[in-house]
Chain A
Amino acid sequence: MKKLGQITLGILTAMGGFVDIGDLVANSETGARYGMSLMWAVLLGVIGIVVFAEMAGRVATVSKRAVFDVVRERMGARMALINLFASFFINLLTLVAELAGVAIAFQLASDVNYLLWIPLAGFLVWFVIWRMKFETMERVFGLMGLVLIVGAVALVKLHPDWMHLWHQASHPSIPQGEGTPTYFYYAIALLGAAMTPYEVFFFSSGAVEEKWTRSDLFVNRSNVYIGFPLGGFFSIMLMALAATVFFPRGIGVEHLGQVALPTTLALGKIGLALMILGFFATTFGAALETGLSCGYTIAQYFGWQWGKLVKPRQAARFHLVVILSLVVAVLIGITAVDPVQITEYSIVLSAAALPLTYFPILVVANDRQYMGDKTNSKLSNTIASFFMVLLAIVAIATIPLMIATKAGQ
């Protein structure tokens, strides 16, 4: 019975922790612009992250090695360094976006401009990383994120034309006046929002640090196989809210505050309050993971001691990197970069950079010397290979599409 409780807790945590600012922004924007026509991209992204996270978790459990350790070993120091630069840069962009998300949640609750909240957000993120236990951190913010379910309640209350929504989703089409390149640009954005690299860095580093054994594999597979798709449900919910309220009126989503609007319409102040709490929990949780990932990637490349299980003074360089990353992210944030735009850039570039980390993990997941009998099955290899091809296509297509569509205008 206790095991069942543990599994349920894990699933709920994964579900609540799935959404971050990328999902909040991308799903609302595309819902407003294309209705449900891009739901397939969300589904694809969810399957993708499930495959990716499961492999990375398995590799971390069996080989006892986290992602960037593996990347350097497999790709060699040179290629891995280029990989590191790219991954770290994108991580940093994502961190800026998440901190802005936290700050905007504070703004929505207090009417004080979000720019003033950014330094506080950065400090709080650092403080939690410095002091809070890994598991506590995950649980608290993961479970808190579940309040987003209020959006589903709101959706029902708004009485959308369900058949119409379903029809839009199952017969994807590009609305009149919208270009095809932009449509696929947003598809890539949704893919990047679901398949965030920092999630994999975080997940796999946690597995190594907590010394997952093969018996933990089952519990954690259930988190991934059930928790993530349920989290994807939140993404679709956000898309549907925007599709119901904004799409018919031709309103675009330009500010994070708008994401809460449909729920406020349906459920009033309570709905808004819960949505704001949900925004806070999901972006703060994601900021923690992204901040840590800044440290993980660099420390794992150079072989420095990393992790939350040791005293900070035992992993001094790791913590120094995390602190510096947060400082830089705060500095970038207070220059008033548009939060929605920086979020878009971070998810689109994330999608383009996925092959860098996906490919080495895929190779190691097939290495018998590392994995023993836990190498990829033919089935997982088939699905994983499909995604490798997909991610390669996405990687090649992203920059041209970005330029051609002027970043989704």
Chain B
Amino acid sequence: MSDAPAGRTMYAALELLDRQIVDADGCMAGKVDDLELEASQDSDGLPVVVAILSGPGALAGHLGGRLGRWLASVQRRLREGPDTGPARIAFGAVKRIEDHVEVALPRESLESNRGEQWARDVVVDKIPGAGHAPE
């Protein structure tokens, strides 16, 4: 099928789900809260993992039950714009899966980083010294 190291196997819940996502600069960028699967075009129809889902919208699905539904409604309300699905990282952007999931994008470009940006802009940056590493 390809010349990339194919044939690697893994258990999704054990090795992929709930793993730390690390961005291109080594910063922490959320957890793998869920995976997006797409039916394969091949005859065997095996679903392909096409994206990582991260953030409250994705976690809502992962948690399930009433808690999940409540979390999903919170996320929908917080989310601006017409697209109300959970924050998505296309699997093509994944560089490596080892201890954590390394992604080839900087945090800023990830939809799931919105919360961090909000906290920074609305609160943290307003406090003097936010830009200094502690001495």
Binding site for B on A (CB under 8 A): 63-65, 69, 72-73, 76-78, 80-81, 130-134, 302-306, 308-314, 316-317, 319-320, 323
Contacts and interface: CB of A to CB of B under 8 A. Distances in A.
Interface in B57-109: 59, 62-64, 67, 99, 107
Contacts of A319: 119, 124
Nearest to B20: A303
Contacts, number: 91
Interface in B103-119: 107, 115-117, 119
A179 to B, nearest CB: 41
Contacts of B20: 65, 69, 303
B50 interface: no
B99 A317 contact: no
B111 to A, nearest CB: 14
A77 B127 contact: no
Given A72-B18, A81-B63, A303 B30 contact: yes
B57 to A, nearest CB: 13
Contact of B27 (A69, A81, A132, A314): A314
Determine the main DSSP class of A at the interface with B.
Answer: helix
A320 B116 CA distance: 10
A218 to B, nearest CB: 23
A311 B119 CA distance: 14
Interface string B28-44: 11110100000000000
A78 B20 CA distance: 16
Contacts of A316: 116-117, 119-120, 123-125
Contacts of B99: 63-65
Indicate the member of A76, A80, A302, A306 with the most B CB atoms within 10 Å.
Answer: A302
B119 A77 contact: no
B21 interface: yes
B113 to A, nearest CB: 10
Contact of A305 (B13, B28, B63, B125): B28
27 contacts: A64-B99, A65-B99, A72-B18, A76-B18, A77-B62, A78-B64, A80-B18, A130-B129, A131-B129, A131-B135, A132-B135, A134-B134, A302-B30, A302-B31, A303-B28, A303-B30, A304-B30, A304-B116, A305-B29, A305-B107, A308-B134, A310-B133, A312-B130, A312-B131, A312-B132, A313-B130, A316-B124
